[in-house]
Structure 1
Amino acid sequence: MHRTYSMRQSRAPTASQIENPPPPSSSTKAGRLFGRSPVGHVFRRQAAGAFGPDLAKKLSQLVKMEKNVMRSMELVGRERMEVAQQLSIWGEACDDDVSDVTDKLGVLIYEIGELEDQFVDRYDQYRVTIKSIRNIEASVQPSRDRKQKITDQIAQLKYKEPNSPRIVVLEQELVRAEAESLVAEAQLSNITREKLKAAFTYQFDAMREHCEKLAIIAGYGKHLLELVDDTPVTPGETRNAYDGYEASKAIIQDCEDALTNWVSSHASVSSKLSTRARTLSQRRKANAAKHREGQGVDLANQDQPMKSDRDSWVPAGEHRGAHEGQEEEEYEDEEEEEVEEANVNGEGGREREGERSAHDAVTA
């Protein structure tokens, strides 16, 4: 910055840069047709989906939108550097402690702007990888169009000239076109999965490094604020002389060392899966491994069994036996009903015979 120790001096590559070499400068930092105005953002987003093959239109629009995001982040980084310089300029006219601390805070904020610029370069790795998927989609579209065109020609000939000898020729061309399309579709499927994982690995790794380093700078920034004496004074009272110059330099040096030595393996924030998520993930990997080895995946316990009528799940050969068993059950039910009716009739007959005997005795 303007007076004291600054991180902007030339320095050796950091441990993170040695472990993961930085990518080339982002492709969005040059060749701007519309400058820095938001008009270029709107035009790119709308024009991306209007041209090119149908298969690649959606991904083309995503690539252009990500380009807008990167240019916005680039603008944020540049503005942050200017803010850092202005903060240091303002602090020159303040008391010694405020002047020194604002100068060091300007150093830290300027470093954040540099980190934003580096993040844009790494973010561009993600965008370029996604762009390669778009290029593969665009290359697959002609094979789809050719197959559809031949299919339409065959249908038209069969409608107008059912006996045309050209139908046989077109059917042979359709077989070749379908074979080419199958190869192209398989390549698209494989490359899409490979590039998708690689692209978002670049993005998430860049985000992790960026956020961890921002947290480091924020922590040392709060240490710098402790050097400012905010004890209220009465009118006419003078504050103690400021003696924190060496301490502020040491804090800045410690911050630079922390940023220089940071590597992803020593990240403070880690994402830990719950027991359920870890179990499901391991089960999915095991099933995928079995599938690759040619073994079937056991789905017996995948879902709960459905409740439905008994006969709908009985094999065809067993339907007759089931009906016979049902007929036997109905026959047994009918026999039980006949016995019950006989018992009822017998008891009723004995009662009627007893009533006749009593009547005859009274009459005699």
Structure 2
Amino acid sequence: MLSMGGDQVEEAVAHAAKVLRAAVGLDWSVRAGGLDWSCLETAEHIAGDLVAYAGQLTGRAQDAYVPFEIAFDEGAGPEDAIRVIESTGGLLSAVVRTTPPGVRAYHPYPHGSADAVGFAAMGVAEVLLHTYDIAQALGVDAKPPAALCEAVLAWLFPQVPPARAPEDHWATLLWATGRGTLPGRPRLDKWRWHNALSIPAGRIALREVSPAAAADLAAGGPGGLTWIEGGPFDGTRRAAEMVTKAYASGVHRPEWGMFALVRAEDEVAVGGMGFHGPPDEEGIAEVGYDLAVGARGRGYASEALDSLSAWALARPELSALLALIEPANEPSQRVALRASYVRASDRGDLRAYLRRG
């Protein structure tokens, strides 16, 4: 799996320190890249982001940023700035490693929260990109390891078609953040990264599965989750394969892919649920779901489907959800009915159930 965590934060900070130390003797008062900050102010921003992300997680902030900031001491120079980046990077990496699964803290983009992996990915992105901004102004090379760029793209930019070759991951990340150009793609003047969505559903939380986690599930891994015995079921792995293929083809739409069903009480994953793609031209999206055998018969799927459907039907582009179920699969049909779906005309050999907004 394209891992993202404390190790990747440390790797990004080590890369930044190496790049920036090569420019210690240069003039850090010049403006960094396309920013309004000087190089020294940009370094202060990197350190500020790293410690702020750590503070969000340790403070379990839910509604806003924890109200503090850091500043370099008066007279601090480039070497001092690098040492602060190393120190604050160590804080974030330690916090990411020790934050329990399921903990989310406030971040505005795009749904108001992120988990520890999300904050690690944002920290890595801030370090790589702003190191580039400084290096560009000072005339030193700042190309980071390709695997780091690939991981940031897979965790934070699932809407961006991935690069075809390892040497292109950095150029793709620069394009995705408005810093570069790519053949056949218009230059971006606005951009946002995407933290995975989490939807509460009573005893279950629906956790959006990123392309990075989906690839691991499709290959037989756990996708970064702790699974109930016997899980994940075959349907979950097939759904993960669909997400992986859609991402590789450049057609994956965040939020319209796969969600893991995770028990709120113990953070154990019990199944998968999600969409076969975004709404079609009629505003209809197809939904699918399955549970590991050991989690069946407890109402988890009905609770999750009801919550996911309510969330989706509040979206303006969606008018109805469709579930297609084999006639012999009576438990899945009961799940749909309990989640307020109604029987519709059969589609070929499958029974159809609809829920409208």
TM-score bracket, shorter-length normalisation: under 0.3
Q: Comparing both structures, which one devotes a greater share of its residues to helix?
A: 1
Higher Cα Rg, which structure: 1
Q: Normalising to structure 2: TM-score of the pair? A: 0.23
Q: Normalising to structure 1: TM-score of the pair? A: 0.23
Q: Comparing both structures, which one devotes a greater share of its residues to strand?
A: 2
Higher RCO (CA 8 Å, separation ≥ 6 residues): 1
